[in-house]
Structure 1
Amino acid sequence: MGNKTGFICDESYFWHDTGNGALFLSPGGWIEADEHGESPKSKRRVKNLLERSRFIEELHVLKPRPATRKEVEWNHARSYIDRVESLSRTEGGDAGELAIVGRGSYEIALLSAGGVISGIDAVMKGEVKNVYALTRPPGHHAERDKGIGFCLFNNVAIAAHYAKKEYNLKRILIIDWDVHHGNGTESSFYDDPEVLTISLHQEYNFPSNRGDVEDVGEDRGAGFNVNIPLPAGTGNAGYLHAIEKIISPIAEQFKPEIILVAAGQGASVFDPLAQMMVTADGFKKMAVAIKELAQQICGGRLVLCHEGGYSAAYVPICTLKIIEGISGLQSEVREDPYHETIKGLPTNILSPHQKHAIEQVIGVQSPFWKFENLSRV
């Protein structure tokens, strides 16, 4: 197996055009034109920082290939794919709910989904030890028949289908730590016991009425869908506690053959579309914890797929630290440049109400999973 971390990106990802707007609304009325929330800036600046710090030289750069139409159809309705393609070839538009398609976005979305597929191939063939795919447009909100929340094709779900079909994998774990609920991925595998989906997200955020603790899957998939809604203000301590007390025990029993992460950095302390308090150091510790879990259970097979995160200034720092975490290497960015600003915040304190929220998940899931170390919660 290659001993480097793979990195996947393509200039095309930054050319997906969501137009102008303010956060997620189009300009007009009382909304003055500004950059759209899902502009390419935060993702492009990740690559810029990797190059400026020369840390990219420590990574094995991989070239993505486009997903085929057949591969996308494993997860999406033909009529929806046709709609995205048609909008892309005309003047663009909304492919569902806040899912903007620009001219040429169809081909870029295929390359985004194919980027994660390329990561699966590289890990499964032993070319690299793990992968970070800096893909765009994001995907975890996209449902079978419509785009939602900036997402066109569900990159991580398509990649999971690919892993099942191409490598005959029977146990795939998807961890979604994006601050918004991974509704599209949940829907894709809600009755599938071969794909265990776990979503860590801010409660009552986006999409509305999704991601409840009681949503555990159905039919043969009952118990194979885990939602961990966390209160606003949850920081590093709460996320790491959830990984230790919920994700790790479940993963140890499920014994996945590969772990995929929908890695959105929207839970950061500076994000404009959420109210959480995870720092760059917290994201690094999360990445290390998941990497160690993969090493323990599935030979280190781990692919991270970039999702949301809308602080153009802070997402690059958080993502760099995640890549440090999975690579086991230290970049020249020794300290978070925003450390002095955030050092007084209670990011590393687990509050009683945050702990209670996590314990609620354990109570709901316990009929399906035998939680070890439950007495130590």
Structure 2
Amino acid sequence: MSTGFFSDERCFWHAGGNYAFTMPIGGLVQPQVGGGLPENPETKRRLKNLLEVTGLMGELNLRSAEMAGRETLELVHPAAYLDEFKRMSDAGGGELGLRTPFAQGGYEIAALSAGLAVAAVEMVSRGALTNAYALSRPPGHHCLPNFPNGFCLLANIAIAIEAARAQGLVRRVAVLDWDVHHGNGTEAIYYARDDVLTISLHQEGNYPLDTGALADRGKGAGEGYNINLPMHAGSGHSAYLHAMDRVVIPAIEAFKPDLIIVACGYDAAIVDPLARMQATAETFAAMTARIKTLAERLCGGRLVLVHEGGYSEAYVPFCGHATIATLAGSTITAPDPLAVNFRARQPSPAFDAFLRRSIDEMAGMLGF
């Protein structure tokens, strides 16, 4: 029994092509790394490199996986969507949805990214691994069945859940999304179901702009099985742990899942360019410790973390290392080079008290 680490070099080769948010590439406009996309391979590659340099990689059970096959992908995505994605991928790439550009071969790389999540969930569910981390890229939590957005082309976590359910490996799954952006894709897929609990901690009003409201609790059979906690900009270490203690842990305890999956984004970190939160590497380690303990108590330790966002090339590796070391129960550390500075920049006592009160109010409205 050990902690699995699922990765594949080909996932780092996913590219957005000639793409930028604010101005077209060409003439005197020099392309940025990754073709102008904040979602570029360096955050993930540098995380993997840091694991190797510190020696933590040697304590992990290293795995890759096959691409998720068409039959598996169709457990979540309509055939027409997959056909169009494959056609455009073979023809040189393009963009299917909102902020989801891909280059030639993008279909195969996205299927491989989903395949890493599928394999991680399957091996943990079978008991071959204690827990696991899937370094999936491109990410998946914004992808709806037939509409990709926010850099996400396939719904990696949902595909992994449905593949495991099809094999009879799990019945009830809790998905905790602590990426700073609302997990709208996962929410949409399970909004009317009661066998998957979806919880999203996200910065209020960030991305997407029209989803993630506290009042969105699910519908039909899924009523009450979707939880959104839209947190105020500026939330830091204390607020995130308070959200875990007041809402996340009680909700998952009540649900009693067979497996817990974390949509593990690091873009709530204090230096991330796409958010305004103040989490640190210490925050992600502490949240991981809480959810790991919960998994041990509820479902035999069955826990899988699937990599989502995080856009600071320098800082994501330290957040990821702290998370994975905690998941593996390792004593190997990669000391946060900015820890002292970041602690000094945490919210003032008055603002932190306001943030905690806000979480308490939302918890009350959610019934916790």
Shorter-chain TM-score range: over 0.9
Do 1:21 and 1:37's aligned partners in 2 also have CA atoms closer than 8 Å? no
Structure 1 residue 30: deviation in Å? 9.6
What's 2:47 paired with?
46
Matches within 5 A, 1:123-134: 123-134=124-135
Q: Return the alpha-carbon distance in structure 1 between the equivalents of residues 250 and 115 of structure 2.
A: 31
Q: Return the alpha-carbon distance in structure 2 between the equivalents of residues 23 and 136 of structure 1.
A: 20
What's 1:374 paired with?
none
Q: What is the RMSD computed on CA atoms of the aligned residues?
A: 1.8
Change (3 A) 1:337 1:22: farther
Q: Return the alpha-carbon distance in structure 2 between the equivalents of residues 178 and 347 of structure 1.
A: 20
Do 2:125 and 2:169's aligned partners in 1 also have CA atoms closer than 8 Å? no
Change (3 A) 1:24 1:216: farther
Greater mean alpha carbon deviation, residues 28-37 or residues 246-255:
28-37
| Paired-residue identity, % | 42
Q: Secondary structure at the match of 1:210?
A: coil
Matches within 5 A, 1:317-332: 317-332=318-333
What's 1:246 paired with?
247
Matched, 1:160 2:158: no
Q: Secondary structure at the match of 1:187?
A: helix
Q: Return the alpha-carbon distance in structure 1 between the equivalents of residues 27 and 182 of structure 2.
A: 30
Structure 1 residue 31: deviation in Å? 6.5
What's 2:344 paired with?
344
Q: Which of 11, 15, 28 does residue 13 from structure 1 map onto? A: 11
Structure 1 residue 169: deviation in Å? 2.3
Q: Deviations over 1:190-240 (max 9, x none)?
A: 000000000000000001110000000000100000001101110111111
Do 2:214 and 2:362's aligned partners in 1 also have CA atoms closer than 8 Å? yes
Q: Return the alpha-carbon distance in structure 2 between the equivalents of residues 7 and 191 of structure 1.
A: 32
Structure 1 residue 124: deviation in Å? 1.7
Do 1:45 and 1:316's aligned partners in 2 also have CA atoms closer than 8 Å? yes
Gaps of at least 5 residues in structure 1 are 372-377
Do 1:279 and 1:347's aligned partners in 2 also have CA atoms closer than 8 Å? no
Matched, 1:74 2:75: yes
Give the counterpart letter for 2:82 in structure 1: I
What's 2:64 paired with?
63
Q: Return the alpha-carbon distance in structure 2 between the equivalents of residues 362 and 25 of structure 1.
A: 42
Greater mean alpha carbon deviation, residues 46-55 or residues 254-263:
46-55
What's 1:261 paired with?
262
Structure 1 residue 32: deviation in Å? 5.1
Give the counterpart letter for 2:242 in structure 1: H
Do 1:22 and 1:37's aligned partners in 2 also have CA atoms closer than 8 Å? no
What's 1:375 paired with?
none
Gaps of at least 5 residues in structure 2 are none
Change (3 A) 1:23 1:44: farther
Give the counterpart letter for 1:34 in structure 2: Q
What's 1:118 paired with?
119
Structure 1 residue 348: deviation in Å? 8.9
Give the counterpart letter for 1:213 in structure 2: L
What's 2:228 paired with?
227
Q: Secondary structure at the match of 1:259?
A: strand
Change (3 A) 1:237 1:28: farther
Change (3 A) 1:154 1:29: farther
Matched, 1:365 2:363: no
Q: Secondary structure at the match of 2:283?
A: helix
Structure 1 residue 101: deviation in Å? 1.7
Do 1:172 and 1:257's aligned partners in 2 also have CA atoms closer than 8 Å? yes
Give the counterpart letter for 2:10 in structure 1: S
Change (3 A) 1:33 1:64: same
- TM norm structure 1: 0.93
Q: Return the alpha-carbon distance in structure 2 between the equivalents of residues 159 and 147 of structure 1.
A: 17
Matched, 1:208 2:209: yes
Q: Return the alpha-carbon distance in structure 2 between the equivalents of residues 12 and 348 of structure 1.
A: 44
Do 2:5 and 2:61's aligned partners in 1 also have CA atoms closer than 8 Å? yes
Q: Secondary structure at the match of 1:42?
A: helix
Q: Return the alpha-carbon distance in structure 1 between the equivalents of residues 89 and 22 of structure 2.
A: 19
Give the counterpart letter for 2:143 in structure 1: A
